[in-house]
Amino acid sequence: MNYLLYMDDFTRACKDGDIATATRLLPSVDPSSPDNWGIHMASFYGHLDVVRLLLEDPRVDPSSSSNYALRWASANGHLVVVQLLLTDSRVDSSALGNAAMNWAKQSGHTEIADLLTEHMYRLDGPEYTKNIL
């Protein structure tokens, strides 16, 4: 399914980085529907202000679709968006076999790949703590 054909005004504002429209519409929409596409689109296109706005809303899940937002921000070289997403404890930098790191490497974004590796192996990171009871 081509979601871009079915995009509502809110999701389109997130995709376009239109923070004013996203802020205005947020109280009257469910930003997690469909499937958190607002944060996915904002992350894909590197719209930091929109990602920040959405992370402040408890209805938004940045880890939906196996951390799609992080994977696309990484693949597209949006370092500051990746940094912001990693501040949310729901985001798992090692999801899908380290897909975000692999996508960053394949796209030539070594700084992001290094950041994701560092995030995974920090003392409270997903790889370091996965076998702790």
Which residues lie closer than 8 Å to 39 by C-beta, 6 or more apart?
14, 31, 51, 54, 55, 60, 62, 64, 69
Contact 57, 30 (CB under 8 A): no
Domain spans of the chain, in order of start: 3-129
Percent of the chain with pLDDT over 70: 86
For the record, the structure tokens of 105 come out as: 């490497």
Give 3-129's CATH code, choosing from 3.20.20.60, 2.130.10.10, 1.25.40.20, 1.10.10.10: 1.25.40.20
Instruction: Name the band, by pLDDT with cuts 50, 70 and 90, for residue 1.
Output: very low
pLDDT tens digit string along 113-123?
A: 999 999 888 66
Q: What's phi and psi for 63, nearest 5 deg?
A: -95, 5
Across the range 98-124, mean pLDDT stands at 91
pLDDT at residue 132 above 60? no
Neighbours of 34 (CB within 10 A): 13
Can you give the pLDDT at residue 120? 84
pLDDT at residue 126 above 70? no
Helices and strands: H and E segment counts in the chain = 9, 0
pLDDT tens digit string along 17-50?
A: 999 999 999 999 999 988 999 999 999 999 999 9
pLDDT at residue 73 above 80? yes
pLDDT at residue 127 above 70? no
Dist CA 43 CA 53 (whole Å): 12
* Global pTM value: 0.86
pLDDT at residue 133 above 70? no
pLDDT tens digit string along 83-92?
A: 999 999 999 9
